[in-house]
Every structure is written in C-alpha cells, then in structure tokens.
Chains A and B, each alone.
Chain A
Amino acid sequence: MRPEPSGLHRAAARIFLSREFSVLVAFVLLVAVTQLVNPRFLVGQGIRDLLLNATIFVVMAVGEAIVILTRNVDLSVGSILGLSAFGTGSIFAAFPGVSIPLVFLIGIAFGGILGAINGLLVTIARVPALVITLGTLYIYRGINNAWAGSTQYFAGDNPAGFSDLAVAAVGSIPLISLGALAVVVLGGIYLAMFRSGRDLYAIGSDPDAAELYGIPVTRRVIGAFVASGALAGLAGVLYASRFNSVGADTGTGFELQIVAAVVVGGVAIFGGSGTVAGAAIGAVLLTTMTGALAALNVSKFWQQAVVGALIILAIVIDRVLALRTARRLRVAGSTVGGPEPAPAGTEAPRG
C-alpha cells in the first residue's frame, strides 16, 4: 500500500494534512483568541453552555455525515428532531412516571423509522435524496404541526430527572456531551473498521462501481438513512431535556445548518470522502463561533454574516487542498511510473 519507506513520517503527515486537523486547528485558534481577549469566555458555565449547545448539532452532524458519505443528503433531520422532541414532551405529559432510558429508546426508534421511510423512498423509487428528503421535511413538519397545534411542553412539565440530564456533569463537562462524544467515537469506529462502514465510502465514490463490486447498495443506503433518522431522534430527546420548550416549530431550519457543519468538517458534499469526527468538529466550530463572537464583543448583528463567510471559506479551502492533493498524486504517479490510485477510501481526491 505504501511504497515509500518513511511510513511513520507519512502517517504523521497524513494526520497534519487531514481536513479534520485543519478544522480542529481553526477551532482551537478560535477558542484561544477568544479566551485571550475575553478571559471570562472559558469559565465553568461558559464551557458548559458551549458544550451543551454543540451537543445536539454534533449528534445530528454524525448522522448527516453518514448519509452524505453515500452521495445522498438528508434534509428532513430538522423535522425529525422536531417530531422526536415534541413526542418526548407528549410522553412525559401522558405518562409522568415513564422511565427515562425508555423515552430515549422510543425517540431513537421513532427517528429511525422516519429515517427508514426516507431510505426506502430513495432506494426503492431510485429518486434523488435531495428531492425525497425535501418532501419528507415538509411532510414530517406538517405532521408535527397537526399533532402539536399550539400546544407547547415546557421544561417544568418534564420529570425532574429528565431536566437534570442537561445539568448533570462530570467536572464541567455535561453528561449529555459525553454521550455525544460516544456517538462520534462509535460512528468513527464503525466507518473506519467495519466492512459495511467502508462500503459507504465505496458507494459515495462511485455508486455504480459499488453495485458491480457486489456491495448491497440498497441495504447500505437505507441503513445510512436509518442512522441519520435515529440520531436526529436522539437529538430530539436531548433537545427536549436541554431547552425550555418544544412545540410545532422546534428544529425548523436546522437542516441547512447541519449540512453546513458537515461540509465545514470536511465531508465532501458529493460523498466518498470525510469522517464523522470532522463533521462533529465542524458542528462544534459553528456552534462555538456564535458564542465566541459574542464574547469578542462582535455585534450580534454581524455574527451570522461571519458564520456564513466561514462556511464559504471552509469550502474554498477544501477545494484548494483537494486540487493540490490531486496534483501531488499525479506527479507522484508519473515518477513512480504506474497509475497508482489513491489509497482506497477516505482521502481519494474527487475529480
């Protein structure tokens, strides 16, 4: 696989040149600069707020990344989160004594079913995911509207144990943020080590070739949508515990923010390349941005514009890096004298 002897050196170079690393550097710089300018940025409550805000987006970004890797997209995640969050409130209203883990399971399963509907529609009807999930974005949101009407559930309606989840912490790290971290680690291991996880990259790089190669494309793609739905469902339960109220419009407009986070995190929008760790860091970076800009005394009116500029910057940098990698590989290929393809999987440049 690696013709050059300096394997260790190359492995190190790989890490430092990786997209995840550059997003991480951007994140660390952002936090460091903010902290230097405003020492009150990283005190106990500040850290906790940052992490809590990031938690929900991180969980959703992992699911979205899995779908985007397969050259699909899931625009219905915001609506799924809304349904799951409102469902959580409804369950607690109807059965106040219900066990909290059960509620989490219900939320995840509910989201998984909604994701499965997306996956089935996309694969069986063989139509683009963008159209289908745009449709289900509206359908799920409409169901949420019909179900909720003007009803809202407030944090006070939930059992104390549930609301405490967002407060419980190990040191200054909230418990649910650790849960999100676990999701990222599990997702990362799955994509990196498992055969079916690697299949997702192959599908995203070239769906037809993957089919010819014997990869069960339909099953894998449905699986990706189920994962995305289940994680959006989980995020919905977390949302209900974290925020004051859930109602008909909870989660509206999240979908494009999540896609933005995933793209900033280095997942190629047309699939085949990227990691959930990158997507998670992208989500943390975007959610931290707002808090950091506030701490830097940037007018709140400028904050969104800066976030937008950052998204565009990330995409441009991505493109420049990809072009450079492609050129380097071409040069290396011609000197070695063989059309050595890029290492199978993650870092393959997309032409």
Chain B
Amino acid sequence: MAETLDTRVRGRGLRAGLGRDAVTVYALVAVVVIASLTVPYFAGTATVNFLLIDAIPVLAIAMPMALIIVTGEIDLSVASIAGLSAATTGVLVAKTDLPLPAILLIVIVIGLACGAVNGVLVTVIGLPSLAVTIGTLALVRGLALVVIGDEAVAEFPLDVTTFVTSTIGGTGIPTMMIFAAILVAVFGVILHFTPFGRGLYALGSSLEAARFVGIRTGRSKFWLYLASGAVSAAVGVFWVLRYSSAQSDSVQGLELTVVAAVLLGGVSIFGGSGGIVGVVAGVLLIRTVNYSLQLAGLSDTVLTIVTGSLLVLSVIAPSFAARARAARDLRRARRGRALI
C-alpha cells in the first residue's frame, strides 16, 4: 500500500517535473543563444561573472523555498532573515574582534531560530504560512533595525571581500558559486532521491493522504523552515561581503524575487509538483533576461516588466495547454464511444 502510493507519487513528480523543467531549460538556452548573437559584449567571461554572482542570493534561497512551496506552504520572511543576518554581521564586524567563521556561525544560529519560530507557528499551532511569514517578515526586519539602527557598516576585511568577489581562474565563474552549487546539489538530492523528499510531494498533493501513509507532516515542514532560515542567514553574510555594506534594509524585497523565480521554474504554488532543475533554470532565466536587456541599454527598473510577464506567462501557458489537452481527450473519448 505504502509502496504503491510512494511509486505513484514519485512517478507523477518526475513526469510533471521533467516536462515542465525541460521547458524552462530550453527557454534559458534559447535566451542565452539569442543574447550571445544579438547583444554586444554579452558573450564573455565578464558576463558569466556578473550574471552568476548576482544570481547567487536568489539561487541559494530558492532551494529551501522550492521545497517549502512543494509542500504547499510559503516563506515570505527569507529576505528579512537575510537582512537581520546582514545587520548582525555588520555590527559584529564593526564592534567586536570575532573571527568571521564565528560570526557566520552566530548568524546561522540566529537564522535557525527565526526558521524555528516560523516552523512552530506553521506546524505546531497550524497557522497559514502566508499570514505567519508576512508577520515574521515585519518582525525580523524590525529586529534588524534594532540591531543596527540607522547606521551602515562599510568596513570589512579586504582579503575576505576580495575572496567573496573572486572568480575561479580565468573562467569568470564566481568562487562563491561553488558553495551555491553544493547547496543546489544537496537540496536536489534531498528532494528527488530521498524518501523525505518524495514525502514532500505527497504532503503538497494531499496532506491527509500523506498523514495516512505515515509521513510526519509537521516535522517535515518544520525542518524545511529551519533550512530556509539557515540558508537565508548565510545569504545575508554573503550579501554584506559582496556589496561591502550592511544596513537595516539590506536584502529588502528579495522574498518576492525568490518566489517568482521558483514559480517560473515550474513549482506549483498549490504544492505537489516541481523540480530543482527547473528552479535553477528559472533563477538563471530571470537573471539572464534581465542582464542581457540591461546590456542592451534598457534601464534596470523597467526590467521588472519582463520578470512579471515571464511569471504570468509561465502559469497561463501550461493552464491553457492543459485545458486544450483535456478538451481534445474528451473529444476523442466521445468519438471512441460513438464508434463502439
């Protein structure tokens, strides 16, 4: 019984995931090819560098976010957690002699604590995650303000900031991308190749059914919120070192960018479907389109039109396609019955 449901869920996840993932990957490849051919200066290591290093925060947070959305929940507090982490890092660097690894450890613990608050409110008390994480978004951003006030810290050890913005040899690939890639691999394996990950799809498809087959629904979600808090906190540190600046409003507003990228990558907002490959492609697609149009001379701020349109298209197109397919099947079935 458990086994058949398990394989069914897995089959469904893979089928839906691969089909939808593939479309996002094709779109990404197409955009890269077109941009290389038409946009001057696009093809080059500088592009690789700028494009990827600015993709890292969204890419990293998109990993736990994708898993959370697969279970049918959401976490809007990620950018605030990253902001609190950025503010804390700034203050600790400016006011103490703590070594950076210790600071990283401290802020990750803070991130875990924030994630635990979300997790308890959502899984133990059973509150809707959309409402809860809007609340913690405000609360945690407020704490960032408490920590750093209206100061800004801009002095960071030069060797560290140089390392964070460095590239691997002459490839243009940012060194930090290695960490992001490890993160992607870890979350990809967890989601696609472990019972825990397959359980997440079950959770998102039907909470009741998941509970009946013995998945600890609350505990699974709780772990994801912890992961989300920890990753967001790490991103906060990266953000500070990347831009050499920590303020109370660091990383503000990134939550909606992350959600948009995850949804564009084919994860259903209702949960139960989507895959890591698609999410990575979704993140890179938004970044590449924006970067190439920026190179082509469009203003940064206008590009949100492109992000928004991509997002709307990415949900409308499959919806219409599915309906067209259903209508065709219905017609066929009717014809078949008429023949008999």
Tell whether, in the assembled complex, residue A253 and residue B253 are in contact, meaning their CB atoms are under 8 Å apart. yes
Given contact pairs A125-B319, A260-B135, A316 touches B305 in the complex (Cβ within 8 A)? no
Q: Mark B125-147, 1 if CB is under 8 A from A, else 0.
A: 11110111011111111110110
Q: Which of A46-54, A137-145, A228-236 contacts B (4 or more CB under 8 A)?
A: A137-145
Given contact pairs A132-B312, A263-B131, A139 touches B305 in the complex (Cβ within 8 A)? yes
Tell whether, in the assembled complex, residue A263 and residue B134 are in contact, meaning their CB atoms are under 8 Å apart. yes
Q: Mark B105-131, 1 if CB is under 8 A from A, else 0.
A: 000000000000000010001111011
* Residues of chain B lying within 8 A (CB to CB) of residue A316: 121, 125, 127
**CA–CA, A307 and B303, complex, Å:** 32
* Residue B185 at the chain A interface, CB threshold 8 Å: no
* Residues of chain A lying within 8 A (CB to CB) of residue B299: 145-146, 149
Q: How far is the CB of A58 from chain B (nearest CB, A)?
A: 18
Tell whether, in the assembled complex, residue A138 and residue B311 are in contact, meaning their CB atoms are under 8 Å apart. yes
Tell whether, in the assembled complex, residue B135 and residue A131 are in contact, meaning their CB atoms are under 8 Å apart. no
Q: How far is the CB of B320 from chain A (nearest CB, A)?
A: 7
* Residue B260 at the chain A interface, CB threshold 8 Å: yes
* Residue B301 at the chain A interface, CB threshold 8 Å: yes
Tell whether, in the assembled complex, residue A311 and residue B135 are in contact, meaning their CB atoms are under 8 Å apart. yes
Tell whether, in the assembled complex, residue A138 and residue B305 are in contact, meaning their CB atoms are under 8 Å apart. yes
Q: A308's contact among B125, B127, B142, B149, by CB below 8 Å, is which?
A: B142
SS class, residues of chain B in contact with chain A: helix
Tell whether, in the assembled complex, residue B311 and residue A308 are in contact, meaning their CB atoms are under 8 Å apart. no
**CA–CA, A307 and B146, complex, Å:** 13
* Residues of chain B lying within 8 A (CB to CB) of residue A259: 131, 134
Tell whether, in the assembled complex, residue B301 and residue A145 are in contact, meaning their CB atoms are under 8 Å apart. yes
Q: B306's contact among A134, A142, A252, A270, by CB below 8 Å, is which?
A: A142
14 A–B contacts from the bound complex (CB under 8 Å): A125-B316, A127-B315, A130-B130, A134-B263, A142-B301, A142-B303, A142-B305, A142-B308, A146-B305, A256-B137, A269-B128, A304-B139, A309-B135, A319-B127
* 3 A-B pairs closest in CB distance: A308-B139, A305-B142, A138-B308
Seen from chain A, the residues whose Cβ lies within 8 Å of a Cβ on chain B are 73, 75, 121, 125-128, 130-132, 134-143, 145-146, 149, 248, 252-253, 256-257, 259-260, 263, 269-270, 299, 301-309, 311-312, 315-316, 319
Seen from chain B, the residues whose Cβ lies within 8 Å of a Cβ on chain A are 76, 121, 125-128, 130-132, 134-143, 145-146, 149-150, 252-253, 256, 259-260, 263, 269-270, 299, 301-309, 311-312, 315-316, 319-320, 323
